[in-house]
Amino acid sequence: MKKLYIETLGCAMNVRDSEHMIAELNQKEPYALTSNLKEADLIIINTCSVREKPVSKLFSEIGVFKKYKKPSAKIGVTGCTASHLGKDIIKRAPSVDFVLGARNVSKLSKIIDVKHAVEVDIDHDDSLYAFGEYRTHPFKAMINISMGCDKSCTYCIVPATRGDEVSIPSELIIREIEKAVATGAKEVMLLGQNVNNYGKYFSSKESKCNFTELLQKVSQIEGLERIRFTSPHPLHMDNEFLEEFAHNPKICKQIHVPLQSGSTSLLKEMKRGYSKEWFLNRCAKIRKLCPEATISTDIIVGFPNESDADFEETMEVLEAVRFEQLFSFKYSPRPHTAAAEYENQISNKIASKRLTRLQARHTEIVDEIMNAQMDAEHQVYFDELKSGGRVSGRADDGKLFFVEGSEDLLGSIQKVKVIKTSRGALNGIIL
């Protein structure tokens, strides 16, 4: 059997695209996955271009792959960097055999044998395409519910790499989840750049269903026990959606509310569509409706024109919401984005200082949150065997747990009591 080495960078959508690529290949000719580059017949780098660093790493990586791969092995560059650099990738690195953009995954088996094929059409519509079944994880499934993004946040390259937003009809989503449940998945992660904008744009006429209705439909699937989703947009967090989140027992009580900045004037320049007050109001509503929920966020520091006062407002939101999880980044100017042209770019020194302060304070908050977990009880879904007779899993609210146990626990949901806490994970015993 031929062997595939696939490296996946970036977000959950890219992880799902990699699964779809494996499914596509398997329909033509089965491939075994390998982590040994030297024995691969096909090497795929599924790239991310959200910040500059991973892009510059790509070309040095292609050089290394070229050096160590079998002479007959092909190299494909896929994903968001493929979308935005297109044929320039082959110009710069002729050892690359094909370039397949983020929205063009279904074309993989057609182009794999075409030397120097480049397929990067961001208008390509796979929303009605039924991919073959493949998932990395036996107990959990990722399911796309929409493609692309209808926003134009001024820092973000994603609309230029994944194109306009289009939702996948709910019937196709339900069918796909039912199949995953029939083969052992008890948990599903619904994926899209703005999941709670679901239902605005369809390619086919008949589908009419918003995100709240989709959640209701999905939760009726028998055998499915847990529903997660990422990423929702704060702008579309209406009361109806938050009530569904809080009261539907199948929806896991973990929600990503990407802040980006705490300053209303900066949020305006980012074109996020909400104010600091709206963001705080939505988070307060989540805490009130659902005190057990955890809230994670994304923050960018050093966006053009970010003053000390703007940054203090971000710190204020951090104190007010006390996010359980934070993904924070220094602003990185990207091609095809409005903010890259803004005057008053912030120096790396200032951005680094702000990032360090933000992360240090957040670490203190996480320590307080995790220490308070001693003796708490959670429902944990066990999904991974670890070394030393341990098994790991996630609580409903996303906290990572370790318990002593064997593979019998895998795929089961158990009540667990915390016996030891640390910053990243909790140790527990099954009750």
**Choices 8-16, 59-67, 221-229, 285-293; region in contact with ligand F3S by CB under 6 A:** 8-16
Cα separation, 5 vs 108, whole angstroms: 15
Q: Which two tokens stand for residue 203?
A: 């390619």
Select 20 or 186, whichever has its Cβ closest to ligand F3S.
Answer: 20
Give yes or no for residue 47 binding ligand SAH (CB under 6 A).
no
Q: Which residues contact 80 (CB under 8 A, 6 or more apart)?
A: 10, 14, 47, 48, 49, 50, 102, 157, 158, 161, 162
Look up tokens 């006390």; give the residue: 322
Among 80, 100, 142, 177, binds ligand F3S (CB under 6 A): 80
Cα separation, 364 vs 346, whole angstroms: 26
Among the listed residues 76, 70, 69, the one whose alpha carbon sits nearest the alpha carbon of residue 115? 76
Select 16 or 186, whichever has its Cβ closest to ligand SAH.
Answer: 16
Q: Please state the closest distance from residue 15 (CB atom) to ligand SAH, in A.
A: 14
Site string for ligand F3S, 144-163 (x = CB under 6 A): --------------x--xx-
Q: If phi over 0 gives left and psi between -120 and 50 gives alpha, with beta otherwise, what is residue 305?
A: left
Give yes or no for residue 156 binding ligand SAH (CB under 6 A).
yes
Q: Please state the closest distance from residue 105 (CB atom) to ligand F3S, in A.
A: 12
Look up tokens 């290394």; give the residue: 64
Site string for ligand SF4, 220-239 (x = CB under 6 A): -------------x------
Classify 7 as helix, strand or coil.
Answer: strand
Tally of CB atoms within 10 A around 99: 27
At 116, which helix (H) or strand (E)?
none
Q: Please state the closest distance from residue 416 (CB atom) to ligand SAH, in A.
A: 31
334 contact choice in ligand SAH, ligand F3S, ligand SF4, none (CB below 5 to 8 Å, kind-dependent): ligand SAH
Site string for ligand SAH, 261-300 (x = CB under 6 A): -------------------------------------x-x
159 contact choice in ligand F3S, ligand SF4, ligand SAH, none (CB below 5 to 8 Å, kind-dependent): ligand SF4
Among the listed residues 195, 194, 109, the one whose alpha carbon sits nearest the alpha carbon of residue 159? 194
Site string for ligand F3S, 32-61 (x = CB under 6 A): ----------------xxx-----------
Among the listed residues 382, 376, 366, the one whose alpha carbon sits nearest the alpha carbon of residue 422? 366
Residue 9 · residue 48 · CB < 8 Å: yes
Provide the CB-side half-sphere exposure for 43 (13 A, CA). 24
DSSP per-residue codes, 268-297: HHHT-S--HHHHHHHHHHHHHH-TT-EEEE
Select 8 or 421, whichever has its Cβ closest to ligand F3S.
Answer: 8
332 contact choice in ligand F3S, ligand SF4, ligand SAH, none (CB below 5 to 8 Å, kind-dependent): ligand SAH
Q: Please state the closest distance from residue 429 (CB atom) to ligand SAH, in A.
A: 36
Residues that bind ligand F3S (CB under 6 A): 10-11, 13-14, 48-50, 79-80, 102, 158, 161-162
Binding site for ligand SF4 (CB under 6 A): 149, 151, 153, 156, 158-159, 193-194, 233
User: Which stretches of the chain bind ligand SAH, using CB under 6 A?
Assistant: 50-51, 155-156, 158, 193-194, 231, 233, 258, 260, 298, 300, 329, 331-332, 334
